[in-house]
Structure 1
Amino acid sequence: MTSLVAMGLAARAEEPVITSSLTTPTPLKAAPTKDGKLATQTEIVAGQDQIPMLTASSADALQGAISMYEEIVAGGGWEQIGSRTLKKGAKGDAVIALRQRLIRENYLPFDSLSSGSAGLYDETMEDAVRAFQLNHGILPSGIVAEKTLAQLNVPAETRLGMLRENLPRVEAYAQDLSEFAILVNLPAAQLETVENGRVYSRHNIIVGKLERPSPTLASKVSDINFNPYWKIPASIVARDIVPKYLGDPGYLQDNHIRVFDGVDGPEIDPTFIDWTATDPERYFFRQEPGPHNSLGTVKINFPNQFMVYMHDTPHRELFGRNVRFESSGCVRIDQVSTVVKWILDRTAAPLDEVSYQNLTTTTEQFDQKIENGPDVRWMYLTAWATEDGRVNFRPDVYSLDGTGFIFGQPQPRTY
C-alpha cells in the first residue's frame, strides 16, 4: 500500500465437503462464550471453524430447517412452559417439561427423557439451554428466566412461518456472494467478516432506529476514509442539528460543525440565518475530523443508493447494550480497527496496530482505495440456519415479516 508507505505509516508486516445435519440432527451444544452481560460478543474467531450467517449453502440448510419444523408442527408442536425460573440443580415436573420442550427442537436427545435424571436440571440441560439462548440472541447464562421463557413459548407454527419468510431473503442475499465478505444482519445487530466460508471475526454493531431503519443492500467495499469529515445529510440537519442549535447557540461550535453556502461554497456564520424559516437543504453542514466526530476515526465505503456506510463512533458505550438500534441508518462497528486491518491485509498492505494508531490519532484525512474489496451484504434475517444444524431466530424489529421484503429501505416505525 504505497500511499501509506509514503506517509511513513506503513505496516510492519508479520508472517502470520459441508453437509447439512438438519435431516439427521444431532443435539446442539453451546459454543464457548465470554463472561459478561452481553448476549453477543465482539471477537476474532479465526481458526474456530465457525460457519457464517450466510453461505452458498444457506438456502439448503434453511430448507432442511423448514422440513424439520414442518414435522414438529405436524406432530402437534410443543407445550407451553410455565413462568418459573429454572437453573442447574432444579428438580421436578417443571424440569421434565423443559426437557421435553428442548427435545422437540433437538437441543437434547430423546432418550434423555427416559434416563434416571430426567427430572434434574443437570449440566447437559444447562448446555442445551445455553445453545438455545445463543440461537435466539439471548445472554447464554444457562438459566431459564423471562426472556428465555418468552422464546421457548413462541409457537412452532410461528417459527415455521419465520423460516419460510426468510428463505427468499437468504436466496437473494447469497446470489453472487464471494468467500470474501462482510455480512451485516440488522435484526441481530451483528456483523461477520468472512473468508473461505468461515467467520474471521464477529462484531456487535449499532444499526438504524425503528423510526430511521437501516436499508438492506448488496455491494462491495470501495474505499476507506481515515479521520473522515462528516458531511451531514439534510435530513439529519433538519431533525437533529438545527433543533439542537436553536436550543443551544454554542452547539455547532462545541461539536466542530461548520456551515457552508453549498458543498463547494464559502463558509457562513450560522448566527446570520433565520433557521426557523430556512430549508435545511439550502446550506451544507460538515463536521471536522477529530475525537468529537460522529464517524469516529474511520469510515468504510461501498457504492449504494441509500448513502449509507459503516464507521467507528465516539460513543462506544452503546456497544455495551444488548439492544442496539440507535443510528440514523448507517452501521457503527465495535472494534472497527479489526475490520479495517482485515480488509487491508487482504487487498493492499498490512497495517499493524502501531501504524493504525499513528494514523487514527491525527486529524489529517487520508483515503485508501480498495481494489477487489470484500462483498458487502446488509441483510434482514429474522431466521436463518447453518450447515452445522443451528437454527437461529431474531425479533422482527422493523415489522417486515409477512411483507415480502428483501432489498430496499424499510418504512419507519413510529410506535
Structure 2
Amino acid sequence: MEVVKRPNNYLVLFILAVFAVSTVSSCRSRKERKASKHAQAKEATVQESKFNEADAADLLDNLMSGRGVDDSLFAKGKVYDVSRAMAKAYADEDYFPIWLTENGDVSYVTGLLQELEDIQHDGLDTARYRVGLLKRLLGQYQQSKTVNEDFVLNFDTLCTQSYLQAARDLFLGAIVPKKADSLWFHANDSVWQPYSMLAALGRADADYPSLDSFRSRYKTYTLLRDAMKKYRALAADSNYLYAKQAANSGGFTDSIRNAIITAELPWQAIVPDSIAVNSGMLKSYQYYLGITTHRKKDSLTQAYLKAPIDSLTARLAVNMERLRWMQQVPEQKYIIVNIPLLELFFRINEENAMHMEVVVGKTLRQTPSLNANMANVVINPPWGVPPTIMKKDVLPGMARSGQAYLNKKGLKVYDLKGNRVSAANVNSNNYKRYVFRQDPGDDNALGYVKFNLPNKWDIYLHDTPHREDFGKNDRFLSSGCVRVQKPKELAEFILTEQEGKRYPISRIDSVITTKKTRYEVLKNKIPVHIVYLTAFEDTTGTQIRLLTDVYKRDRKLKSLLQ
C-alpha cells in the first residue's frame, strides 16, 4: 500500500509567514509610495500649480478602487476589457493622474491626440475615441490658470479610456469577428498589457507610449496602411477631384480616365501617348482594383473610375480589421493561404520563399478562415469521405446507382470493426455507422501528397488528380479543403529545407510508386494561416491590389466599421 506523507507543519507555517510578510510589505510599499506622493503634492501646492495631485488621487481612488484588480489575471495578459485595464493602470500609479501634472505639462496629451487622429489610416473612426471632446478639454485646461480636481478626474480618465480603447482596437480589432463573419475561426492569442506602458508615464523623462506598438506586424498590414494614407490624401487633391467630377458629368475622355488611373495607381503612371499604352493602363487598373482584366471600357470599369475615393478606403479598412483579428506578430516561418487571391505563400521573415496557386471551396462550401500547425506530410494518403461530401454527394450518388457509384469513385465501405460491407447495407439513416474510404492511387481525391494540420473543421492542404484546374481564373471549386498546385515541391521544401532530411522529389516519386501510405512527422510544426483578405500585396510585394469578394463577406464588416 502506498504511504501518503503528511506535510511538515513547520514548513507550512514558515511558507505562510513568508507570504504574509511579503503581502504586508507589498501593501506597505504601495502605501508608502502613495504617502510620499501625497507629501510631494501638498508641498507643491505652496507653489503655483494647476491642481492638487493628492486631492485628484483621492478622487480617482474612490472612483477606481471598487472595480477590483486581480493581478494574477493581468499577469497572463488575457484581460481584454478596457474598464478593467483602466482600473489596473490607475492602481499601478497609486491612483495619481496619468496624463496631467500639476505644472501644466500636456505633452503626453498632445502626443495622444496626434496618434488618435492618425488612427484614421488604420481604417478606424476617430470619433470612437472621443477626439473632439479631448480637444475641447485640452483647450479648457490650457486656457485656465487652475482647474478643480473633478475636471482633472474627467479629463485624465477620458485620456486613459481613449488610449486603452485605441490600443485594444489596434491589437484585437474593433469588431468581434463572429459578428461579421461566421466562418472566421482564426485565433488571436496575443498578450495585451497596455497598463504597463502607461505606468511608465509616472517616471521622470518617460517617453510617450506610442500606440504603434499595438499595430499588426504583418507586412500586409503596413502596406494596407500606406495605401490608406495615399488614398486619403487624394480626397484633398484638386486635380484628382476635378477628374472625378468630370468623369461623373459626362466628360469621360481618355485623358480624364488616365488622370484618375495615374492618381490612384501612381506606380503605374505612364505617358498616355498611344493606344497600346492606354490599353495597358486600363488592364493594370482592372488588375489592381479586382476587375476582370479584358482591357475594355465596360460599365463596371467605368463605375470604378467614377466611384468616390471612400469606396476604396472602405475596402482597405475591412481587411486591416481582419489582420487585427490575427495574432499581432507573425511567426518567423509560416504558410499563408489567401482565399480570394487563390494563392499560397511560404514566408520566412515576412519574405516569400515559395508561392503557388490553390483551389479553394466553392461558394456553397466555403473554406473557413483558421490557423493550425502542420503536423505531418503524408505520401500516398488514403481518403476518408468527410460529412459534407457524404451527405451532399455520396448518398445521392448511391441512391441513384448503388454499388456502381462507389465503384466509379473508387470508394469502399467498412463497418466500424474494419469489415468491408456492400453498398446495399447503407442508407441515409444508418450511413454514420460506416466508414467510406478511397485507397491511395492515381485517382485518389487527395492526389499523392497531403499536408495535415489538425483542426476541428477537418481542413487541410493536399494534391489533386484534377491538375487541369490550375491556370483557371476561377478556382473556387473544392468542398472546403485547399488543393495546392505544387504539392511535391512543397513537400520537398518542407522535408528538406525545414526538417533537414534528404527528401528530393525523386524520393517522393519512389514512395508514390509503392502505393503504400507513408507519414513524415514534422519535428518543427509549421503555422498555417488560411485567411480571407480581399486586399493583398501584388506579386512584387510592394503594392496593394484589391480582389473580388467572392464569398460576399465584406459588406457586413464594412457596415459594422462605419
What TM-score results when the alignment is normalised by the length of structure 1? Answer: 0.72
1:162 pairs with one of 307, 315, 326: 315
Give the Cα–Cα distance (whole angstroms) in 2 for the partners of residues 119 and 79 of structure 1.
Answer: 23
Alignment of 1:306 onto 2:465: no
Alignment of 1:375 onto 2:541: no
Q: What residue in structure 2 maps to residue 68 of structure 1?
A: 230
Which amino acid in structure 1 is aligned with residue 443 of structure 2?
H
Q: What residue in structure 1 maps to residue 369 of structure 2?
A: 216
With over 3 angstroms needed to count, the CA separation of the structure-2 counterparts of 1:392 and 1:93, relative to structure 1, is closer
Give the Cα–Cα distance (whole angstroms) in 2 for the partners of residues 283 and 79 of structure 1.
Answer: 65
Give the Cα–Cα distance (whole angstroms) in 2 for the partners of residues 166 and 119 of structure 1.
Answer: 36
CA deviations on 1:307-360 (whole Å, 9 max, x unpaired) are 110000111111131011111110001122121111112124132222122122
For the residue of structure 2 that corresponds to 1:296, the secondary structure is coil
1:343 pairs with one of 494, 512, 524: 494
Give the Cα–Cα distance (whole angstroms) in 2 for the partners of residues 359 and 393 of structure 1.
Answer: 41
CA deviations on 1:366-407 (whole Å, 9 max, x unpaired) are 0010121332110110113579641211111111114349xx
| Structure 1, unpaired ranges of 5+ | 1-22, 24-53, 83-91, 406-415
Alignment of 1:284 onto 2:438: no
Which amino acid in structure 2 is aligned with residue 358 of structure 1?
S
Shift of 1:107: 3.2
Alignment of 1:358 onto 2:504: no
Which amino acid in structure 1 is aligned with residue 523 of structure 2?
E
Give the Cα–Cα distance (whole angstroms) in 1 for the partners of residues 287 and 488 of structure 2.
Answer: 25
Give the Cα–Cα distance (whole angstroms) in 2 for the partners of residues 121 and 360 of structure 1.
Answer: 52
With over 3 angstroms needed to count, the CA separation of the structure-2 counterparts of 1:289 and 1:152, relative to structure 1, is farther
Shift of 1:224: 0.8
Give the Cα–Cα distance (whole angstroms) in 2 for the partners of residues 204 and 318 of structure 1.
Answer: 10
Give the Cα–Cα distance (whole angstroms) in 2 for the partners of residues 373 and 122 of structure 1.
Answer: 49
Question: Does the 8 A contact of 2:219 with 2:350 survive in 1?
Answer: no
Q: CA RMSD of the aligned region, Å?
A: 3.1
For the residue of structure 1 that corresponds to 2:523, the secondary structure is coil
With over 3 angstroms needed to count, the CA separation of the structure-2 counterparts of 1:159 and 1:317, relative to structure 1, is same
Comparing both structures, which one devotes a greater share of its residues to helix? 2
Q: What residue in structure 1 maps to residue 348 of structure 2?
A: 195
Give the Cα–Cα distance (whole angstroms) in 1 for the partners of residues 551 and 252 of structure 2.
Answer: 38
1:97 pairs with one of 236, 256, 274: 256
Give the Cα–Cα distance (whole angstroms) in 2 for the partners of residues 108 and 302 of structure 1.
Answer: 39
CA deviations on 1:216-238 (whole Å, 9 max, x unpaired) are 11222110111111111122111
What TM-score results when the alignment is normalised by the length of structure 2? Answer: 0.54
Which amino acid in structure 2 is aligned with residue 288 of structure 1?
D
For the residue of structure 2 that corresponds to 1:221, the secondary structure is strand
Shift of 1:288: 1.0
Question: Does the 8 A contact of 1:80 with 1:152 survive in 2?
Answer: no
CA deviations on 1:241-277 (whole Å, 9 max, x unpaired) are 1211222231212322111222x4422111233x2x5
With over 3 angstroms needed to count, the CA separation of the structure-2 counterparts of 1:359 and 1:152, relative to structure 1, is farther
Question: Does the 8 A contact of 2:268 with 2:281 survive in 1?
Answer: no
With over 3 angstroms needed to count, the CA separation of the structure-2 counterparts of 1:174 and 1:322, relative to structure 1, is farther
Q: What residue in structure 2 maps to residue 7 of structure 1?
A: none
Question: Does the 8 A contact of 1:224 with 1:368 survive in 2?
Answer: yes
Give the Cα–Cα distance (whole angstroms) in 2 for the partners of residues 231 and 329 of structure 1.
Answer: 15
Shift of 1:239: 0.8
With over 3 angstroms needed to count, the CA separation of the structure-2 counterparts of 1:156 and 1:366, relative to structure 1, is same
Shift of 1:165: 0.9
Q: What residue in structure 1 maps to residue 244 of structure 2?
A: 78
Q: How does 1:1-80 map to 2 (within 5 A)?
A: 56-75=218-237, 76=241, 78=244
Which amino acid in structure 2 is aligned with residue 375 of structure 1?
P
Give the Cα–Cα distance (whole angstroms) in 2 for the partners of residues 99 and 271 of structure 1.
Answer: 66
Q: What residue in structure 2 maps to residue 331 of structure 1?
A: 482
**Bigger Rg, which one:** 2
CA deviations on 1:50-92 (whole Å, 9 max, x unpaired) are xxxx96333232222112222234554836979xxxxxxxxx9
With over 3 angstroms needed to count, the CA separation of the structure-2 counterparts of 1:299 and 1:153, relative to structure 1, is farther
**Count of matched residue pairs:** 334
Question: Does the 8 A contact of 1:212 with 1:329 survive in 2?
Answer: yes
